[in-house]
Amino acid sequence: MKISGSVALVTGANRGIGRQFVLELLARGAAKVYATARNPELVDIPGVEVLALDITDPASVAAAAARAGDVDLLINNAGVATYTNLVTGDLDKIRLELDTHFWGTLNVIRAFAPALGDGAVLNVLSALSWISYDGANAYSVAKAAEWSLTNGVRLELAAQGTLVTGLLLGAADTDMMAGFDVEKTGPAVIARRALDGIEAGVIEVLADEAAAQAKAALAGDPRLTYPTAV
């Protein structure tokens, strides 16, 4: 998959990693970039085609797919973090996480898959796809579901030659993580590493050390990962 000359669509393109994806795509010579957001007026990057897109709304997804039928690189970046636990948390917030990360991502892939051909899909996942975090367990569940979705659609789209890549990262220096005093990776770095992975044809990009550690921990004793669990 070559970025130069491609036609790309980025969800959640108005800020954070999504905005950096758009800038990096333009810098690499993408022929056209659709920058989408629930509030398209917030997209402030010149040289892009702005579309309204709420990935949790099937009608909005269908409308965007009808407008952007030439896409061959789909970047599923849109997301939400409600910082909700499972046992006592608000069920509506838990559903919102799943509606966004699982159902929303699936809605978009289903709508655009027929046009992708030998292009690519990039799903922005998280190190929390592989590890739970007390205080944001709904996010972990939703991202774990999106990770499994990524593996599933990779198998299903292989016959048409579409590359499906998962991007996994720890903390990014974005609004979503503004309240956390942890080591963070810049969104521009993450976008560059992800697109490097797409051009190299890899199916999984570990964007930082946190993602690498989370993956490695899966093979270990879970008591080491969750030492406070009973």
The catalytic residues are: 139
- Rounded to whole angstroms, the Cα distance separating 161 from 230 reads 46
Q: Three-state SS string across 40-77, please?
A: HHHCCCCCCEEEECCCCCHHHHHHHHHHCCCCCEEEEC
Half-sphere exposure of 159 (CA within 13 A, CB side): 4
Closest C-alpha to 6, from 161, 83, 125, 116:
116
Structure-token pair, residue 147: 């990770």
- Rounded to whole angstroms, the Cα distance separating 3 from 5 reads 6
Do the Cβ atoms of 100 and 37 come closer than 8 Å? Answer: no
- Rounded to whole angstroms, the Cα distance separating 56 from 97 reads 10
- Rounded to whole angstroms, the Cα distance separating 70 from 92 reads 35
Do the Cβ atoms of 56 and 211 come closer than 8 Å? Answer: no
- Rounded to whole angstroms, the Cα distance separating 191 from 183 reads 17
- Rounded to whole angstroms, the Cα distance separating 9 from 167 reads 16
Residue 123 backbone dihedrals phi, psi, to 5 degrees: -105, 125
